[in-house]
Chain A
Amino acid sequence: MNQLERDLREALRRTQAPPHFAEKVLARTRQSRTPRFPWAWLAAAALILLMVGGVGIVREQQRQAEGERAKEQLMVAFRITGSKLRDVQEKLVTIPQRALQRSEQ
């Protein structure tokens, strides 16, 4: 071994860790062991709730819109039926008068 190698060994010889190094490591280890509050799970659950709630609201709005459409169609149908009935009623009223006029002739 030459002088340079001896000097390198001397320069890089093992040194002691700073005081309380082991205690700090063990404290950090204990910290990593304690279960943390599950923020990630909580956030995921909130997201799922929001998504489910959002889907429910959208579906409810769709259902209401469909109901409104059906109601309008029904009203149109009633109006058409009403006007047809009026036509028929008018015809029915005029038929006996015409028959009377014919029999008089």
Chain B
Amino acid sequence: MTEADYEYAVREHQGLVYSIALNFFHNAATAEEVGQEVFLKLYESRRAVEPGAHCVAWLRRTTVHRCIDTLRRASFRQEVQVEQMPEVPVEAPETDPLLQEGLRRLIASLPEKPRAVMVLRFGEDMDPEEIGRTLQMPVRTVWSHLQRATAMIREKAARYRMEIEDEPTRTRSS
């Protein structure tokens, strides 16, 4: 990759790198810092990276690994049990900003591996095989993370729905 290829890659793929980091941390400042570090790393490794598809795969892989490293290093750890997760109105009939915000917060509160899997699956639309290659984990593990994380979110959604259904009854009785 030449210097010109590098500049093109920065301008072309800045959204990709920033989005992965933002979905991972749900924090714009951290996402920007991680994004910049990823591109500096790309500059250092530019001789080993081919422009195009190879560069995109490299950026996805490096961004996710850098996110995990940052999370571990800075004690950003916000892993929580299902009981501690924020309430999220899932499966609302229409897309609404509250729902989007709730889901993003929920994803950002998952443990690092399932979080990375969910971000790549639903943010980058990657299939489990690609995710496995990117995160260097077996496809079965990818599926397992996907199923467990989705189940967690569903559980939250179910509780949320129950609370919503109970709300009028409580209001009337009080």
Contacts and interface: CB of A to CB of B under 8 A. Distances in A.
Interface residues of A, number: 23
B contact residues, range: 35 or more
Nearest to A13: B123
A97 interface: no
A101 interface: no
Overall SS of chain A's interface: helix
Interface stretch (A18-26, A38-46, A48-56): A18-26
A15 B32 CA distance: 12
A25 B39 contact: yes
Overall SS of chain B's interface: helix
Interface stretch (A1-9, A59-67, A77-85, A88-96): A1-9
A14 B14 contact: no
A96 B158 CA distance: 137
25 contacts: A3-B91, A4-B157, A5-B122, A5-B150, A7-B103, A8-B107, A11-B103, A11-B107, A12-B23, A12-B103, A12-B104, A12-B122, A14-B19, A15-B22, A16-B18, A17-B32, A17-B35, A18-B18, A21-B14, A21-B35, A25-B14, A26-B7, A26-B10, A28-B36, A32-B40
